[in-house]
């Protein structure tokens, strides 16, 4: 495949949407075909799965069901959107990918990284992002941002210890995958973060 696969990761409220929009605008202006997707979701089927995952009324959902729903939505997204764009030479920017499952289900839910990797291997057929940006923001700061923006969904409404484990999981994952994951300070000004992202993208794309 000749395209570029970029993923944006981070705790809730880290500013992923802002950076994705800024990056898309920058790449669009340079003539690249850019498609932005989100997880879970990104396809009609995936969005229906998303509504099940985040619905507060589904508080009794077991961890394996949650993990499998994420993987199912991801499989549809890869097949329907991501692979076709990459094969055509385009750029995919995804708001979350497998790293989120490794952290949220594998680490924070205690399911284990190996189990989540094995489950998702079938969903993505070993597809891996070319580069991942982890916007590092402590959970207390992220939750303050989210609570000021909108009503929290089922995942966002988890207790503080859960969000702390998510944060710790991301930091651990980033430190063990420095070749692919770039850890950025989400408390910096958006323009400064964007400049750091573009600097890394410059190394991958031939303008």
Whether 162 is covered by a domain: the verdict is yes
Q: Which two tokens stand for residue 66?
A: 């949650």
Whether 176 is covered by a domain: the verdict is yes
**DSSP one-letter string for 160-202:** HHHHHHHHHHHHHHHHH-TTTEEEEETTS-HHHHHHHHHHHHH
Q: What is the pLDDT along the chain (207 residues), one digit of tens a residue?
A: 589 999 999 998 899 999 999 999 999 999 999 999 999 999 999 999 999 999 999 999 999 999 999 999 999 999 999 999 999 999 999 999 999 999 999 999 999 999 999 999 999 988 999 999 999 999 888 777 766 666 788 998 889 999 999 999 999 999 999 999 999 999 999 999 999 999 999 999 864
Confidence (pLDDT) at 68 = 98
pTM metric for this prediction: 0.94
Q: Which two tokens stand for residue 134?
A: 């982890």
Split into its structural domains, the chain has a count of 1
The single residue listed with the structure tokens 């920017």 is 93
Whether 9 is covered by a domain: the verdict is yes
Whether 152 is covered by a domain: the verdict is yes
Report the distance separating Cα 163 and Cα 52, nearest Å: 20
Domain with 170 in it: 4-202
CATH number, domain containing residue 52:
3.40.50.300
Q: Are 52 and 153 in contact (CB under 8 A)?
A: no
Quick one: CA dihedral 74, 156, 57, 107, positive or negative? positive
Whether 192 is covered by a domain: the verdict is yes
**Of 138, 56, 65, 130, nearest in space to 97 by CA:** 130
**DSSP one-letter string for 107-165:** IISS--HHHHHHHHHHHHTT---SEEEEEE--HHHHHHHHHHHS---TTTTS-HHHHHH
Whether 207 is covered by a domain: the verdict is no
CA angle 48, 28, 5 (to 5 degrees): 55
If you compute the radius of gyration of the chain from its CA atoms, what whole number of angstroms results? 16
Give the H/E segment covering residue 83.
Answer: helix 83-87
Whether 157 is covered by a domain: the verdict is yes
Whether 121 is covered by a domain: the verdict is yes
Q: Are 97 and 80 in contact (CB under 8 A)?
A: no
């Amino acid at each position: 495949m000749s395209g570029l696969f970029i993923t944006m990761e981070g705790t809730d409220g880290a500013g992923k949407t802002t950076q994705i929009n800024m990056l898309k605008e920058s790449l669009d202006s340079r003539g690249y075909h850019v498609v932005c997707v989100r997880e879970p979701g990104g396809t009609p089927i995936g969005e229906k799965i998303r509504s099940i995952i985040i619905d507060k009324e589904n508080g009794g959902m077991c961890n394996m069901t949650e993990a499998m729903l994420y993987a199912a939505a991801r499989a549809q997204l890869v097949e329907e959107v991501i692979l076709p764009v990459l094969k055509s030479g385009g750029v995919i920017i995804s708001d979350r990918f497998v790293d989120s499952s490794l952290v949220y289900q594998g680490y924070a839910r205690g399911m284990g990284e190996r189990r989540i990797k094995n489950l998702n291997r079938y969903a993505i057929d070993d597809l891996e992002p070319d580069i991942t940006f982890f916007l590092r923001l402590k959970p207390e700061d992220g939750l303050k941002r989210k609570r000021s923006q909108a009503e929290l969904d089922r995942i966002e409404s988890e207790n503080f210890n859960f969000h702390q484990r998510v944060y710790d999981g991301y930091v651990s994952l980033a430190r063990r995958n420095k070749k692919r994951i770039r850890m950025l300070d989400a408390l910096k000004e958006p323009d400064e973060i964007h400049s750091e992202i573009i600097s890394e993208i410059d190394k991958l794309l031939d303008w």
